[in-house]
């Protein structure tokens, strides 16, 4: 989709939400590059910067810090089914202590995943 083809309400914004084929659960956020006119697909659960699905997969296979960044974004912003298409519950439990989550969200996920709180 080209920004020029977008509905009038989104023409003034560089962000356009697209829904892919019905068999795909993920939505893509497309950010139009104003200089080249090339659309750069980005995952919707990275609202602060564009991250492609390929980049997210590389990060999930990378260092603990990279994995924690992706998983933190998944738990904060992604829809339920999308979370589990990227990681397993065991993978989240394994890295849970290093995730950047607000206290209330950390407590909620800790209860759901049956993660014991770390006592300082």
In a domain, 92, yes or no: no
Cβ neighbours, 10 Å, residue 36: 8
Instruction: Please indicate, yes or no, whether the overall pTM of this predicted structure exceeds 0.75.
Output: no
In a domain, 98, yes or no: no
**Which pLDDT tens digit goes with each residue over 10-38?**
434 344 444 444 333 333 434 444 444 55
> Which backbone phi and psi does 62 adopt, to 5 degrees?
-95, -145
Helices first, then strands: H and E counts in the chain? 5, 3
Cβ neighbours, 10 Å, residue 75: 22
Please give the Cα distance from 59 to 50 (Å, whole number). 14
In a domain, 120, yes or no: no
Instruction: Please tell me the predicted confidence (pLDDT) of residue 80.
Output: 95
* Domain, as residue range, for 32: 1-87
**Which pLDDT tens digit goes with each residue over 63-99?**
999 999 999 999 999 999 999 999 999 999 999 999 9
| Structural contact between residues 32 and 50, judged by C-beta atoms closer than 8 angstroms | no
Q: What percent of the chain lies above the pLDDT cut of 90?
A: 61
């Amino acid at each position: 989709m080209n920004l020029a083809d977008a509905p009038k309400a989104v023409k003034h914004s560089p962000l356009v939400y697209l829904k892919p084929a019905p068999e795909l659960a993920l939505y893509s956020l497309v950010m139009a590059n104003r200089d080249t006119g090339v659309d750069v697909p980005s995952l919707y659960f990275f609202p602060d910067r564009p991250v492609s699905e390929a980049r997210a997969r590389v990060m999930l296979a990378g260092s603990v810090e990279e994995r924690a960044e992706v998983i933190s974004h998944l738990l904060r912003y992604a829809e339920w089914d999308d979370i589990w298409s990227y990681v397993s519950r065991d993978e989240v439990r394994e890295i849970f202590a290093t995730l950047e989550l607000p206290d209330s969200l950390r407590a909620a996920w800790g209860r759901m995943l049956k993660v014991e709180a770390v006592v300082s």
